[in-house]
Chain A
Amino acid sequence: MSKKNKDEGIKNKIIDGLESETKKQVDELKTEAKNALVDGVKSEIKNNLGLSIAGTAINNNPIMLKIKLIILGVLILGSYVGLCYFYPGLNPFHRNPLILKNTAVVIKESKKIAKLFSSTYYAEVVMDTTKLTIEVKTDYTNSISNMFADDDEQEKTQYNDSSYHQLTIIGNGTTFAGNDLATISEKDIIINDSLCSISIDSAKIINTVINPSDFTIFIDEGEWSPEEVQEIKTLAVEKVKQLSLKSNILKKANNRTEKLLSEFLKSIGFQVVNINFK
């Protein structure tokens, strides 16, 4: 029994010894790992600190600061220009559009008419006009002696100065043709039961219209006075009128008037309708 107890005592001692040794080794390993971790973190912090110190050094550099400010300025200016492009009102130098003052439209005359507009002709005309002006000019700057001479005694050279001017205007015009029904009198209408015969004036050009909004000034080079431009616009109106006549607008207008009046008179009970043009 006592031997058994002795053995157990020895066993326990050995176990205790081993336990304490293992604990020691574990503690040592722990401290080593701890130290290694601390060293790693320290070195990392050191590296980072070094960089930030370098960054601060760059930031404090006045040239770099200036470059940064310039880039910032360019960016702000660029964005402003971009905004001005889309919203012109933000641009203080934006040209205000021309504004018309409110004035009255005056009626000069009003007439009672009865014109049947039965045909129109539409055309786009291009008025390409050029002119060459020759001006006689005098040059006084040909000699140094002129600086000391009187006006009358100055040496001068005369020369011809020519310049070329071009004006291209596009006009969209409409010619209206029709018959004047106001001239129909009692003697022009013959009615016999279901027959109706009417004599009316042959078709005429009533108007050729090219309004300011129908004109486009395509090329305006050189010197063209406003009056000259208006003269060219008048020629454009005449050109549209001539083109309409070439396209037989009057014949078309007569045919349409005949058809229109025949249908109308038939709709009110006449069976035979004759339309004659004077």
Chain B
Amino acid sequence: MNFRFTFLALILSILISCSNEEITKSIIKQRLAEINQLGTVEYDLSKVLIVDDEQWYTYGDRKALINLEASLVAGIDFKKIEISNLVSNNSIDLKLPKPEIIFLNIPPEKVSYEVLKVDKMEVNALTFINPIITLAGMRSDFSNEELNQIQIMGEEDIRKKIDELGILKEATKNSKSFLNNWFKLLGFKTINYLSYEQKK
């Protein structure tokens, strides 16, 4: 009986010592490390980010024109390929999982600031006073945080437009093409693909 209690207490203490946060983090990292994706399509994309920052109570505009280039890889989860009706060295039925974006990469070196225009009114108060007086209330330069925020908006916009670009359809098409070649090299003559909805 005492042994049982000690064992239970030990298990409980181990469970309590691991906080939920730690468990979640480790699981996420583990899942990330155990990636099984087959990338079948790679896209090089570019987008021009235009921001016109106007406030009614300030004098002058702030405009930014940033060009960013991104690369995107899409594919399928290799482990989720379902195999059925296998006839050795002859035919095979495959059901492919839904395609997904493996990563979108916007490398910092591919972000170029084409125009950063800030309207500032400068007044030479009197010629014999040397410094140029910049009136208070004028527009300040874009801060680095604001510039990063603009890039984040660009990144979100690219993610939103992925469907429109037909990248995922292309990923499925290329997956089929790769698997056809591969299974033919492995000796199979007929490879059939079942759609997501189609029952085996």
Contact = CB atoms under 8 A, between A and B. Distances in A.
Say whether A associates with B. Answer: yes
B38 A186 contact: no
Contacts of A119: 33, 35
A186 B186 CA distance: 9
Nearest to A265: B186
A100 B157 contact: yes
A105 B151 CA distance: 14
Contacts of A252: 33
B61 interface: no
Interface stretch (B4-12, B15-23, B41-49): B41-49
B155 A114 contact: no
Nearest to B43: A110
Contacts of A79: none
A109 interface: yes
Contacts of A182: 178
B141 to A, nearest CB: 9
Contacts of A140: 130
A171 B69 CA distance: 19
A236 B40 CA distance: 28
A114 B145 contact: no
Contacts of A88: none
Interface string B35-70: 111111111111111111111010000000000010
B195 to A, nearest CB: 21
A209 B35 CA distance: 15
B193 interface: no
Contacts of B108: 210, 230-231, 233-234, 236-237
Contact of B155 (A176, A191, A213): A213
A256 B39 contact: no
B148 A212 contact: yes
Contact of B38 (A114, A211, A234, A256): A114
A93 interface: yes
A103 B47 contact: yes
Contacts of B156: 213
Given A98-B146, A112-B177, A122-B29, A105 B157 contact: yes
B27 interface: no
Contacts of A213: 152, 155-156
Interface stretch (A25-33, A67-75, A221-229): A221-229
Contacts of A209: 103-105
A146 B35 CA distance: 74
B83 interface: yes
B38 A109 contact: no
Interface in B138-157: 142-157
Interface of A: 92-93, 95-96, 98-101, 103-122, 140, 147, 167, 174, 176, 178, 181-182, 184, 186, 189, 191, 196, 206-207, 209-213, 215, 217, 220, 224, 226-227, 229-231, 233-234, 236-237, 252, 256, 260, 264-265, 267-269
Q: Which 3 residue pairs of A and B lie closest in terms of their CB atoms, listed nearest first? A: A212-B151, A233-B108, A101-B50
30 contacts: A93-B57, A98-B51, A98-B149, A101-B51, A103-B47, A105-B45, A105-B157, A106-B45, A107-B165, A113-B39, A113-B174, A115-B73, A116-B36, A117-B38, A117-B39, A147-B128, A174-B32, A174-B103, A178-B35, A189-B186, A207-B71, A207-B103, A220-B145, A224-B144, A226-B142, A231-B108, A236-B108, A256-B36, A260-B79, A268-B186
Interface of B: 29, 32-55, 57, 69, 71, 73, 75, 78-79, 81, 83, 86, 88, 92, 102-109, 111, 113, 116, 128, 130, 142-158, 161, 165, 170, 174, 177-178, 182, 185-187
